[in-house]
Amino acid sequence: MEKSVSSSRPVALAGIAAFAVVLGALPLVAGPYPISFVFLLLITFIIAQSWDWVNGQMGYLNLGHYAFYGIGAYAFCLLLIRGVPLAPSFAAAIFVAALAASILSFPLFRLKGDYFAFGTLTIVPLCELLASNLTEITKGTEGVTLPPHYVLIPAYYMAAVLVLLTLATTWWLMRSRFGYAMRAIRNDEQVAEVSGIRLFPVKVLTLCLSAMFAGLAGAIQAWQFSFIDPYTMFNLSVALIPIAAALLGGSGLLLGPLIGVILLSSLQQVLLVKLHMLQGAVYGLVIVLIGRFLPGGLLRWKVIANNPHLAWLARESHFEVGASPAADDHAALPLRAPDLDKSKIDKNKIVLRCEAATMAFGGNVAVREVSIDVRQGEIVGLVGPNGSGKTTLFNLISGIYQPKGGRILVDGQDISGLRADEIARLGIGRTYQIPRPFNELTVRECIAIGRSYGRGAAPLREAMQSAEAFARFVGLGAQIEMRADRLSLQQKKALELARALAGEPKLLLVDEVASGLSTNEIRTFVQHIREIRDRYGITVIWVEHIFSALAQVVDRLVVLDSGSVIADAPLQEAVKDERVLATYLGHSNKDITHEEKRA
């Protein structure tokens, strides 16, 4: 593993250089037929790879990507026949495709999962209709014919340059901060947001980027072919072929789409030559088989992933950490925020204030006029029966929900109306009751995302290096390069804590970490919580059912029942409170005096 990490960069660079030389030399040695075959392959690759930025990196299945190709082709041709010179026409193709993408972003990114796929399914038919019916602009079904010209060679070189640019962009995405935001969104959008990533701009920029490349590819293709019509530009059975190619190779991998396109285009060529009929049927069969038997694509096939010479093809990301200073498990965390210092704790300063915060789902009031103050440096235990509104309160504080009533103030600032990522950058960190790590990323990457997008806002390289200190702090030093979905439950919970800490919160919301852990593991966790406060002055609210764990560390107890605060007192007083005993803690011996007291 380590070897492939250090050797992958020169190998990849040498490979791309060799690829560039072959592409450049081909027209010098080959006739027009092979050139036009490779030209088509290059165009298909640009479409496939640009689609895969949205799917493979960001996790959105866009079934309408091909429309951007057609839009680019139309914009280019319609300007060219009206006498606009070549260069501005090409520029217009890029611009119009990006414009279409940014307009479509607003409706489409309201949708999630399958609904996004439904929505995007309509784009290609819609464009075909518009191209056919807006005859004054698009010349309708008869199509647009460019003046006769022979431009195969220049079009080929243009496509070749664009292919290299596409590869370079993919390479950049696989090792950049922006690329990690995309991968965080793919893995868990809500956690990406509470880690401080502003989602919408990432999504719009990604869709625009992919549309620009596809639009230019369409323009180059139309220039070479010198004819376009609605049917060929917006043909749905063709539209999904670049997608199939990317998935065949391996969606989300550096060379996956390229290898998939080479294989599938070659197959198509062979079929065209060998078969006189039913090419489509065989082609369709191949696509069916890819869907059925290659879930992660060819490059994720275990024969390749386990082969020491080929394994780097199956790498999910290409970030290289480089040498980081050896850290020990008890070294201080590399926190940058100036207020995270034990000596600066002001015990009277109110970090969080809830003023009659209320949240209802339909008629069900989950949090009812909750008013609490949390002071700097406190560890507050938040307890209550199941369904009493603890996690809902966390969701209100971290901006997942907007309160239906009341206010929540962080350091005196009203946070209503702020997005979850803005609240994260204000210094609110949280963990999830059921751990939600970015499953397909490594422990280091999960922590680095929290670090790079949270209040710390470290550059990616520094975040990747310092992630190790956070991993060690929670006891994941040995698992730092392991994928998060391979961790045990306890390790995942530790990772949640590390990710949240890496964002340098001043207030940390910890949601049920102890349930399911052994006594020893609970003890370790309690120590972590204590250390977070004692060493770095981070204020903590801890939701927990294992009362013995809470009792070891909290200063104060807030008890919720049916969404309302029924007690808010120092630990010693709270455990004696009658209502708390009745609704939550229970009595060791229910005696008559108690019943009398209630009456």
Partner 1 sequence: MSIDILVQVLLSGLLLGGIYALVAFGLSLVYGVANILNIAHGTLLAISGVVASLIFAATGWNPILIIPLLVLPVFLFGYLFHAALLRPLASRGKHDETIGTVLITVGALIMMSDITGVVAGTNQQNIPVRSEILEFGDVIVPLTQVWILAGIIGLTVILHLYLKYAWFGRAVRAVTQDPLGATICGINGPRAKALTFAGGSGLVAVAGVLYAMIYPVDPYMGFSLTVRAFTIIIIGGIGNLAGAMIAGIMLGVAESLTAFFWAPKWAPAISVVLLLVILVLFPRGLALWKRA
Q: Which of 44, 224, 251, 268 binds partner 1 (CB under 8 A)?
A: 251
Q: Per-residue b/e over 368-402, b at no fewer than 16 CB within 10 Å?
A: bebebebbbbbbbbbbbeeebbbbbbbbbbbbbbe
The verdict on 132 binding partner 1 (CB under 8 A) reads yes
Q: SS3 for 476?
A: coil
The verdict on 244 binding partner 1 (CB under 8 A) reads yes
The verdict on 18 binding partner 1 (CB under 8 A) reads no
For the CB of residue 301, give the shortest distance to partner 1 in the complex, in Å. Answer: 14
The verdict on 114 binding partner 1 (CB under 8 A) reads yes
Which has the closest alpha carbon to 376: 337, 347, 339, 338?
Answer: 347
Which residues lie across from 359 on neighbouring strands? 367
CA 407 vs. chain centroid, Å, equals 30
DSSP string over 148-214: P---HHHHHHHHHHHHHHHHHHHHHHTTSHHHHHHHHHHH-HHHHHHTT--HHHHHHHHHHHHHHHH
Pick 154 or 296: Cβ nearer partner 1: 296
Q: Which of 133, 307, 548, 552 binds partner 1 (CB under 8 A)?
A: 133
Q: Which of 27, 70, 72, 119 binds partner 1 (CB under 8 A)?
A: 119
Stretch that binds partner 1, among 82-90, 94-102, 104-112, 427-435 (CB under 8 A): 104-112
Q: Which of 9, 91, 125, 422 binds partner 1 (CB under 8 A)?
A: 125
Report residue 123 as tokens: 């784009």
The verdict on 137 binding partner 1 (CB under 8 A) reads no
Q: Would strands 413-414 and 556-561 be described as parallel, antiparallel, or unpaired?
A: unpaired
Pick 59 or 72: Cβ nearer partner 1: 59
Q: Which of 24, 32, 34, 113 binds partner 1 (CB under 8 A)?
A: 113
Give the length of the chain: 599
With beta carbons less than 8 A apart as the criterion, state whether 97 and 214 touch. yes
Pick 181 or 245: Cβ nearer partner 1: 245
CA 278 vs. chain centroid, Å, equals 41
The verdict on 286 binding partner 1 (CB under 8 A) reads yes
Pick 150 or 231: Cβ nearer partner 1: 231
For the CB of residue 236, give the shortest distance to partner 1 in the complex, in Å. Answer: 5
For the CB of residue 207, give the shortest distance to partner 1 in the complex, in Å. Answer: 15
The verdict on 570 binding partner 1 (CB under 8 A) reads no
Residues 441-460: x where in contact with partner 1 by CB under 8 A, - otherwise, as a string: --------------------
The verdict on 296 binding partner 1 (CB under 8 A) reads yes
Stretch that binds partner 1, among 103-111, 355-363, 408-416, 518-526 (CB under 8 A): 103-111
3-state helix/strand/coil string of 73-96? HHHHHHHHCCCCCHHHHHHHHHHH
The verdict on 263 binding partner 1 (CB under 8 A) reads no
Q: Which of 15, 24, 295, 459 binds partner 1 (CB under 8 A)?
A: 295
With beta carbons less than 8 A apart as the criterion, state whether 228 and 126 touch. no
Pick 17 or 434: Cβ nearer partner 1: 434
- In the region spanning residues 190 to 229, those forming contacts with partner 1, defined by CB under 8 A, are none
Which has the closest alpha carbon to 507: 395, 449, 423, 432?
Answer: 423
Angle at the Cα of 339 from the Cα atoms of 338 and 340, rounded to 5 degrees: 95
Stretch that binds partner 1, among 32-40, 76-84, 237-245, 574-582 (CB under 8 A): 237-245
Q: Which residues contact 383 (CB under 8 A, 6 or more apart)?
A: 390, 543, 544, 545, 547, 550, 557, 558, 559, 560, 584
Pick 13 or 285: Cβ nearer partner 1: 285
The verdict on 285 binding partner 1 (CB under 8 A) reads yes
Residues 467-506: x where in contact with partner 1 by CB under 8 A, - otherwise, as a string: ----------------------------------------
Backbone angles phi, psi at 370, to 5 degrees: -85, 125
With beta carbons less than 8 A apart as the criterion, state whether 75 and 215 touch. yes
Q: Which of 7, 18, 25, 122 binds partner 1 (CB under 8 A)?
A: 122
Amino acid at 246: A
The verdict on 289 binding partner 1 (CB under 8 A) reads yes
The verdict on 580 binding partner 1 (CB under 8 A) reads no
The verdict on 424 binding partner 1 (CB under 8 A) reads no
DSSP state of 511: E
DSSP state of 53: I
Greatest extent of the chain over all pairs of C-alpha atoms, in Å? 102
The verdict on 291 binding partner 1 (CB under 8 A) reads yes
The verdict on 7 binding partner 1 (CB under 8 A) reads no
Stretch that binds partner 1, among 124-132, 363-371, 422-430, 510-518 (CB under 8 A): 124-132
For the CB of residue 290, give the shortest distance to partner 1 in the complex, in Å. Answer: 6
Which has the closest alpha carbon to 96: 258, 226, 236, 215?
Answer: 215
Stretch that binds partner 1, among 13-21, 161-169, 290-298, 535-543 (CB under 8 A): 290-298
Which has the closest alpha carbon to 191: 461, 421, 407, 357?
Answer: 421
For the CB of residue 116, give the shortest distance to partner 1 in the complex, in Å. Answer: 9
With beta carbons less than 8 A apart as the criterion, state whether 341 and 377 touch. no
For the CB of residue 261, give the shortest distance to partner 1 in the complex, in Å. Answer: 15
Secondary structure element (H or E) that encloses residue 29, with its range: helix 2-29
- In the region spanning residues 147 to 186, those forming contacts with partner 1, defined by CB under 8 A, are 186
Counting residues that bind partner 1 (by CB under 8 A) gives 47
The verdict on 112 binding partner 1 (CB under 8 A) reads yes
The verdict on 281 binding partner 1 (CB under 8 A) reads yes
Which residues lie across from 361 on neighbouring strands? 364
How many other CB atoms sit within 10 Å of the CB of residue 365? 18
Q: SS3 for 288?
A: helix
Q: Which of 13, 17, 21, 129 binds partner 1 (CB under 8 A)?
A: 129
The verdict on 61 binding partner 1 (CB under 8 A) reads yes
The verdict on 279 binding partner 1 (CB under 8 A) reads yes
Q: Burial level of 109, CB count in 10 A (0-12/13-18/19+)?
A: middle
Q: What is the binding site for partner 1 (CB under 8 A)? A: 55, 59, 61, 63, 106-107, 110-115, 117-119, 121-122, 125-126, 129, 132-133, 186, 236-237, 240, 243-244, 247, 251, 277-281, 283-292, 295-296
